[in-house]
Amino acid sequence: MNNDFSSALKKSGLRKTKHRTAVLGVLDGSARPVAAEDVYLSLKEDGVSINLSTVYRVLDTLASSGLVTRLSIAGEPRSLFEINTMEHRHYLVCVGCNKIECIEGCPLKAYEKTLEKQTRYAIAGHRLDIYGYCPECRDKGRGAK
């Protein structure tokens, strides 16, 4: 996506700044959720002059405006961030190396409907992350049964 995020920022009532655009660019270009430190390193590589505490502040602002989602995943002590796609996501987490991947689609949509019928709850959402050992970790003999 080639995007200067002007309209997204405007919709969220945020002023467009160089730093906000740059941070959104890193999140948008990443296939998986990233920590503030990763955003910082990637910006530094691109020659953007920014310091880590600014990255934290920008991420905080973007997260509270809803443009960015903050994830806390068990086993990962840092908060991870990704562009809020409005679509909820699920993650596959490697407990060997803490790698995180998005799972395509949601396996729980039909189950929610069944559960609503069974319980008369109006289901508002759910959380689901799946843990295991990734292929690389398995090749190193981890997670063997």
Q: Residue 1 or 31: which CB sits closer to Zn ion?
A: 31
134 binds Zn ion (CB under 5 A): yes
- Least Å from the CB of residue 135 to Zn ion: 8
CA distance 45 to 54: 16
Contact set for Zn ion, span 89-108 (CB under 5 A): 94, 96-97, 106, 108
- Residues numbered 24-63 forming contacts with Zn ion, rule: CB under 5 A: none
Burial of 144 (0-12, 13-18, 19+ CB in 10 A): exposed
Distance (Å, rounded) from C-alpha 61 to C-alpha 83? 13
Least distance in angstroms from the C-beta of 50 to Zn ion:
30
Which residue carries 């596959």 as its tokens? 92
CA dihedral (56, 57, 62, 65) in degrees, to 10, reads 130
CB of 81 to Zn ion, least distance (A): 19
Sites of contact with Zn ion (CB under 5 A):
94, 96-97, 106, 108, 134, 137
